Copies of this chain bind each other. A is one copy, B any other.
């Protein structure tokens, strides 16, 4: 209750707008959605949409921002004594396992999220916004890492960015997935490699 009704309503509107943006874009295709439609869907005026987001792309990417920021939250929630990289693994795993926004039920890969991701990856106009979202998330993550480890300077940022990079690669590889592999497996493999300093695999491996 740090904030009152006003603040909560703003959050709700913001989320409603960005959900509407994602939903409409997934259904009709990014180019066929006018911000006017998005605003109508969320029950606010076109002008108000602009008070919340700088662009249509930002509205769509906002879902991804919120989602990605959770990684830092999860990390902060890990016990202080836990080794950093163990905590990181758990935090990212939860991030990927995460079901639908507010639900607790064990949902499958979460179709909504998946559809959103595919949309963002395929539409060039959205890629920039998504990457910006991840950059923002990395800042948060760096702060969390700095707090946890008591380090400053290069280290926390480096770790945060590398985690972001790992996450990106895992998702890309998983989406391409043919044959499909479990995210958990890919993630685990990727983190193992990163933690080992990314040495060149002895033999040409297809993993």
Contacts and interface: CB of A to CB of B under 8 A. Distances in A.
Number of copies: 2
Interface in A148-207: 149-155, 157-159, 161-162, 164-166, 168-170, 172-173, 186, 189-190, 193-198, 200-201, 204-207
> Which 9 pairs from chain A and chain B are nearest by CB?
A128-B128, A161-B165, A131-B131, A197-B197, A165-B165, A128-B132, A150-B204, A195-B197, A157-B169
Interface of A: 54, 57, 83-85, 124-125, 127-129, 131-132, 135, 149-155, 157-159, 161-162, 164-166, 168-170, 172-173, 186, 189-190, 193-198, 200-201, 204-207
Nearest to A168: B161
A165 B134 CA distance: 12
B154 A186 contact: yes
Given A161-B169, A168-B161, A154 B198 contact: no
A150 B195 CA distance: 21
Chain A interface helix/strand/loop/mixed: helix
Contacts of A57: 128
A135 to B, nearest CB: 6
Contact of A198 (B152, B172, B186, B194): B194
Given A128-B132, A151-B201, 16 more contacts: A57-B128, A83-B200, A84-B200, A85-B198, A124-B132, A128-B131, A149-B200, A150-B204, A154-B186, A154-B189, A154-B190, A155-B207, A161-B165, A162-B162, A162-B194, A164-B165
Contacts of A190: 154, 158
